Amino acid sequence: MKHYAKIREKLPENFIHNMLSHIINDPELFKPNVRFYERVGINKKRWAIMYNGYESPKITEIVALSDYFRIPLDTMLTFRQLNLYPETIEDLDHIVAKSVKSLCEKNL
């Protein structure tokens, strides 16, 4: 019997992309180096998981990023809530449908 890796769903809001869009217009232009990883205390794998939107950073990671980029912590926390509320009814319908689908799959 083969074991397949579980496919992870991306989060609806990507904190790292929001933050980098605020700092530089295009998040893909930021290329972290060894010094960045050491100063922030986040390893490459964890950064990739957050950058690709599979997980949100923990509060300790947000504080470290705030210190590294010299952005006030309250500003950093707003990146986490940028699209907390959907802009249109269609967006809300999509979010609800996705949540219901996810719950149904978990119960099967």
pLDDT digits (tens, 9 = 90+) for 24-61: 888 889 999 999 999 999 999 999 999 999 998 988 89
Name 46's Cβ contacts closer than 8 Å, sequence gap at least 6. 61
Domain boundaries, the chain: 15-107
Residue 79 in tokens: 């990146």
Residue type (1 letter), 48: A
- For domain 15-107, the question of CATH label 1.10.260 is answered with yes
pLDDT digits (tens, 9 = 90+) for 58-98: 888 988 998 999 988 888 877 766 544 555 556 556 666 66
Cβ count within 10 A of residue 2: 3
Residue 55: which of 10, 24, 97, 90 has the closest Cα?
Answer: 10
